[in-house]
A = this chain, B = another copy of it.
Amino acid sequence: MAATMKQVVLAAYAQGNPKPGDFRIEEVPVPEAGECEILLKTLYIAVDPLLRFSVDETVLTGAGRMELGQPMVGPVVSEVIASSHPDYAVGDVVEGRSGWQEYAVLAPDLSDYRGPPRKLDRSLAPVSTALGVLGGPGQTAYEGIVKVGRVKAGETVVISAAAGAVGSIAGQIVKVLGGRAVGIAGGAAKCAALLDLGFDAAADYKAPDFADQLRAAMPDGAEVYLDNVGGEVTMTVLPLLKRGARMAMCGFIAYYGVGMEGPGPDRLPGFYRLIMNKGLEIRGFAGMLAGQQGLEDIARWMKEGRIRFAESVVEGIEAAPAAFSSVFSGHDHVGKLLVRVAAQG
């Protein structure tokens, strides 16, 4: 093993959407594991859109804001390569938040509220899925469609950011439940990928005739809207929803780069008007509430061949800053976007 390793540190807080230049790669000594600690070799990094808040200067310290010069912290899958902790053995693969670095030392007994690193069942699926369909994004999709959306057979569900980590799973859960899945994504290639995943219809938000595409995709409206985006996309969706529709809101990527107030004209009056006129029910949720039940259902549906996982992988830790930045600019990847840092074993 090398004596030094690379890590991605935050060089500057993001102004608007994150840019690769907000980060830098540093070469530091590989840490050593002490008593009851484990040494982890990072296999995959998830460039999670929610990490936007960690690089936001306006977020309170303690609510998750990173300090400048520190390595980025976020969900990763890694392999235990040294352990003096009774619960972890060399060769175990775990999912945790040990950050954007090639190696990390963790003390499982001193974990925060998220708990100790989660040991993965490698027989179930490739370990990278612990960052996608069998991790946070899968749980969020399950919660949005099953718990908050309460989707029933025969209902139409429209999903924004449908080619993303959450959306690509959510649409497939809709199909398992007997609903009709309509996906919104950017570009013809992504829309084709949605149909390939089993969505019934797709609309391209980057196309000039987006509203017409969407109307054609759901001529009778929709009972449920899973929203991860906000902004222009949502203002196009809402007028097409049925009266009394449920909107499950798990993100707002259109607004991650702005604070409480955006640059354009005030869209809140129109949002109020649509909520009232349509008698909409809106529920914000943070995912992770469906918990183990959600992951077990998804794992079973995967075994039955009813849910496929989609992921896009870029190679090398140096690629992480650009991959993370691309999440906010409508990149071309489908499914969960991962950075492969090292091979297993």
Interface residues of chain A, those whose CB is within 8 Å of chain B, are 230-231, 249-252, 255, 258-273, 275-286
Number of copies: 2
Q: With a CB–CB cut-off of 8 A, which chain B residues contact A276?
A: 249-252, 284-286
Residues of B within 8 A of A262 (CB): 265-269
Interface contact B285-A279, CB-CB below 8 Å: yes
- Residues in B whose Cβ lies below 8 Å from that of A230: 268-269, 272
Q: What is the minimal beta-carbon distance from A267 to any residue of chain B, in angstroms?
A: 4
State the main secondary structure of chain A at its contact with B: mixed
- Contact check, A281 vs B279: say whether CB atoms are below 8 A apart: no
Cα distance A281–B277 when bound, in Å? Answer: 17
Q: How far is the CA of A261 from the CA of B258 in the complex (A)?
A: 18
A255–chain B nearest beta-carbon distance, Å: 4
- Give every chain B residue within 8 A of A252 (Cβ-Cβ): 269, 272-273, 276
What is the minimal beta-carbon distance from A306 to any residue of chain B, in angstroms?
A: 29
Shortest A290–chain B CB gap in Å is 14
Contact B268 A279 (CB under 8 A): no
Given A275-B282, A276-B249, residue A266 in contact with residue B269 (CB < 8 A): no
Question: What are the residues of chain B within 8 A of A265 when measuring CB–CB?
Answer: 261-263, 266
Chain B residues in 8 Å Cβ range of A259: 269-270
